[in-house]
Amino acid sequence: MKKQKTVMRHVRLAGMGKALAGGELCFAGEKRYRLRAGETFSDLMYQASCRALAAAGMEIEDMDCIVCATATPVQAIPCNAALLHERLAKGLDIPAFDVNSTCTSFVTALDVLSCMTEMGRYRRVLIVSGDMASAALNPAQRESYELFSDGAAACVLTAAAEEDCGILYSRQKTWSEGAHDTEIRGGGSALPVFSMEKGNRPDYYFDMKGSRILKLCARKLPDFLNLCLREAGVRREDIDLVVPHQASRALDVMMPRLGFPKGTYVNRVSCYGNLISASIPYALCETAEEGRLQRGHLVLLIGTAAGLTCNFMLLRY
Amino acid sequence: MKKQKTVMRHVRLAGMGKALAGGELCFAGEKRYRLRAGETFSDLMYQASCRALAAAGMEIEDMDCIVCATATPVQAIPCNAALLHERLAKGLDIPAFDVNSTCTSFVTALDVLSCMTEMGRYRRVLIVSGDMASAALNPAQRESYELFSDGAAACVLTAAAEEDCGILYSRQKTWSEGAHDTEIRGGGSALPVFSMEKGNRPDYYFDMKGSRILKLCARKLPDFLNLCLREAGVRREDIDLVVPHQASRALDVMMPRLGFPKGTYVNRVSCYGNLISASIPYALCETAEEGRLQRGHLVLLIGTAAGLTCNFMLLRY
């Protein structure tokens, strides 16, 4: 295995914002949130963005770049960031593009944009995540139908002057033996929208094989995490807060296997389930608002996603 | 307008590859290529990738990252790079993610990944572009139906030792007043696949307002290009080759307005039309194979895309 060069990036999560859909459902005592009539997913991305900018004390005019780190599109064309630009920045010429590694898109985008920021290519970036899960949930698959909420979260990432603030380490891996454990087979070139008929309708729904994903994660993640901690020179006890992707209730099975007992990591699955690409930034924003996440804390982000892709990122908040 | 810091990135396009669909159509004497029976778009991405690796004299095992810089998905989930990983790198753990700014995704990806390469985050990256245009072309809109081909192109981007090889300058802008001039309104959260009915079928097709795009480009691009050349300290006569997005026949109208007379830029629209995200890397690969593009040449890439997004990039090949 190639050794990963540790690359410090002096960046700051200057402000975060979040938005949850307004419609409430309840499954086995747990609430889930889905878009209500008259509400659009673009509204959520817009709200989360405005809140992140306000929290950072900035205006959209201050941004050098708008990035949507999302798993699914608002329209098939153009990219989500161009459509968000239309709501947020019409008349301005801020560049806009999308980054997609499904549920871990936000962590990938932090990885990518922090490098661009460190290089001076951009100085202030708005990163927005979120998906409308309810657009493709299959009522016949209870495991996934009852798991997801529609939500968005945003973050203003800026170049930081402080030496002790930023991304200390990041590493991503994809194991494509899991490529079909979490998928929507239809809607792209493999099975275009116009090929939908009565018999293949389920192929256009989200399809999750929960126990297969869990097994693959259990096989791959512990070694990968140990490698990352070793390369970063960080021990588990140095970490102030662990924010994993809010994948499912199985979080309480997986996290102890990674050496993080209950209470050391954020688990909000019972509150709003899985928010797809918004899961991690939503939880980050929430813990910051609650005061659990504080400036100077060492945070470990653990992104897991369809692919199967996993990101580990060490962040001095 | 904020001044852009010029950020040299020492990278090399170490190898390129391309693949065109096997089915031929002819419109007004010009050939277009569309997937034939038994051929998939994934086949094209795979072929282009293998050719790029061979041209670079490398194996997939040598890659640190796989990036799909595409406008449209193969499946709705997971991202294209994870699915390409399954064809190309199954059993390996190379990270995979997508970058999307529609037709100019390849240039955005070069911009992003060259920063990561310069930072040492990755050293060798496979970037693959391409789309299956024919999945969403509307036979009732001749202007677009007769313009596009299905194709893919790939590039191995590596950290370069040479001082005089790399990306000298890049800048991107998005003007969202053009967000709906090139679009597919359906297929995402705004108009999900399950909302398709007889009456709104056209919303799921690609829809292009050619003359509006051309007007917006004519209004925005000349000033933007002049700014870029000024910031980069490069004159038009210093440039050896201009590779614009192969948007349409209007290329011969637009390019002279940017100060590039016929013969100074690559125009292959009559050969295979618009290849969406593959247009620029396909033309780059072709001109390199023909010997028109040579090592040491100063190349200007001009990406234009739905959004409306434009990228200018100066590259010492």
The DSSP string of A258-277 is TT--TTSB---HHHH-B-GG
A77 → closest Cβ in B85, B132, B306:
B306
Which residues of A are less than 8 Å from B185 in CB distance? 75-76
- pTM of the predicted model as reported, rounded to 2 decimal places: 0.97
Cβ of A193 within 8 Å of Cβ of B187? The answer is yes
Which residues of A are less than 8 Å from B82 in CB distance? 101-102, 174, 176, 179, 306-309
Name which of A1, A39, A77, A79 to mutate to probe chain B: the one with the most chain B Cβ atoms within 10 A of its Cβ.
A77
Kindly give the parts of chain A with pLDDT less than 70: 1-6
Report the C-alpha gap between B274 and B224 in whole angstroms.
23
What integer pLDDT is reported at residue A312 of this predicted model?
97
* Cα four-point dihedral sign B178, B182, B185, B189: negative
Cβ of B135 within 8 Å of Cβ of A188? The answer is yes
Q: Is B8 helix (H, G, I), strand (E, B) or coil?
A: coil
Report the C-alpha gap between B49 and B53 in whole angstroms.
6
| Active-site residue set of B | 103, 245, 274
Name which of B49, B189, B203 to mutate to probe chain A: the one with the most chain A Cβ atoms within 10 A of its Cβ.
B189
Report the C-alpha gap between A110 and A315 in whole angstroms.
10
Which residues of B are less than 8 Å from A9 in CB distance? 119
ipTM surpassing 0.90, yes or no? yes
- Considering only CA atoms, give the Rg of chain A: 19
B41 → closest Cβ in A85, A132, A189:
A189
B83 → closest Cβ in A108, A131, A179:
A179
pLDDT, tens digit only, all 317 positions of chain B: 455 556 899 999 999 999 999 999 999 999 999 999 999 999 999 999 999 999 999 999 999 999 999 999 999 999 999 999 999 999 999 999 999 999 999 999 999 999 999 999 999 999 999 999 999 999 999 999 999 999 999 999 999 987 779 999 999 999 999 999 999 999 999 999 999 999 999 999 999 999 999 999 999 999 999 999 999 999 999 999 999 999 998 999 999 999 999 999 999 999 999 999 999 999 999 999 999 999 999 999 999 999 999 999 999 99
Give me the catalytic one of A245, A285, A310, A311: A245
Cβ of A121 within 8 Å of Cβ of B78? The answer is no
> B281, B132 in Cβ contact below 8 A?
no
One-letter amino acid of A315: L
Task: List, for residues A15-45, the tens digit of each pLDDT value.
Answer: 999 999 999 999 999 999 999 999 999 999 9
